[in-house]
Chains A and B, each alone.
Chain A
Amino acid sequence: MSDDELREKLALWKVEPQIPPDFQRNVWQKIAVRESKPKLPLFGNWNISWLRTPAFATCVIVLGGLAGTGFGLIESSQANSRNWKSLEAKYVQSIDPYEHLRTL
């Protein structure tokens, strides 16, 4: 058989695969099922779908803000106490010459 004859025979050969009517739907369905349950691969595939919610992120941010405020209040209380003591010392220095000379 010559090359031209072979080429003609190959052109006549048409492949027509038979795809089931719901093939595409099934594929997407399987993908959707798999993606709807995100897993954390560590510690035995825990279901962490609740982590992708903005509500969770908002709660964590609010908690962080509250914690920062709490620590800020504690630190400011201690700073105010130190400042109050330094103001007392400042007054004592203003009336006691020995204390005034000691701090020069």
Chain B
Amino acid sequence: MSNPSTPTSISERFRPEHWLLFALIGALAAGVIAFYGCNFFATRDLREMAAAPNGGLEWLQREFHLSGGQFQKIEALQSAYAPVCNEMCRKIMEANSKLDRLVSENRGVTPELAAAIREAGLVQEECHQQMLAHIYQVSAQMNPADAQNYLRLMKSRVIQPALSSDTAVRATTE
């Protein structure tokens, strides 16, 4: 004689508490897999860009909507500017280390120290001129609207922080 209470489907083999546990564990696993999977694939593009050596230029291309031709010209300008930038770095390090040494060694403003201050100032001035020239050359390759945005961004990120005091600029722009 058949037993009416014999389970006939898998759902009746398990107690309700077991199904609840399975559901919670499954939901947790699905959530974790979905979270890390979504995060991985959604950030892969920018992660690869950040890891690439010319990631900065790729950022420039996307941020300012550069065409293929515009990007190639700017890439050429960047390659030509790189040795200039390295030379500026060397001069800055040299002038600053000399100034730092003289400031530490002296107890008054000697002619040598004054000359070192002037030299550091000249290096800074030359650096700003070279940077601005490069920035203007790059903006000239862009579309007008993007060029304006580029100049505004470079002014806020490069030029203004380099000023010894930007209070005058801030007063006119606020």
Contact = CB atoms under 8 A, between A and B. Distances in A.
Q: A and B, one complex?
A: yes
Interface of A: 24-25, 28-29, 31-32, 35, 38, 40, 48-49, 51-54, 56-57, 60-69, 71-73, 75-77, 79-80, 83-84, 86-88, 90-101
B55 A65 contact: no
Contacts of B92: 97-98, 101
B98 to A, nearest CB: 15
Given A54-B11, A68-B30, A83 B46 contact: yes
Nearest to B7: A35
Contact of B15 (A52, A57, A79, A91): A52
Chain B binding surface SS class: helix
Interface stretch (B57-65, B107-115, B166-174): B57-65
Given A52-B11, A91-B56, A94-B85, 7 more contacts: A72-B35, A76-B38, A83-B47, A83-B49, A83-B50, A92-B56, A95-B131
Contact of A100 (B37, B42, B55, B89): B89
B144 interface: no
B46 A68 contact: no
Contact of A94 (B28, B50, B78): B78
B59 A91 contact: yes
Chain A binding surface SS class: helix
A80 B11 CA distance: 44
A97 B88 contact: yes
A98 B15 CA distance: 69
Given A56-B23, A68-B33, A80 B16 contact: no
A75 B41 CA distance: 12
B23 A94 contact: no
Nearest to A50: B16
A61 B27 contact: yes
B38 to A, nearest CB: 3
Contacts of A99: 158
A77 B39 CA distance: 9
Contacts of B28: 64
A24 B4 CA distance: 11
A88 B82 CA distance: 17
12 contacts: A29-B4, A38-B15, A53-B11, A54-B11, A56-B23, A60-B27, A65-B30, A79-B39, A80-B46, A92-B157, A95-B78, A97-B92
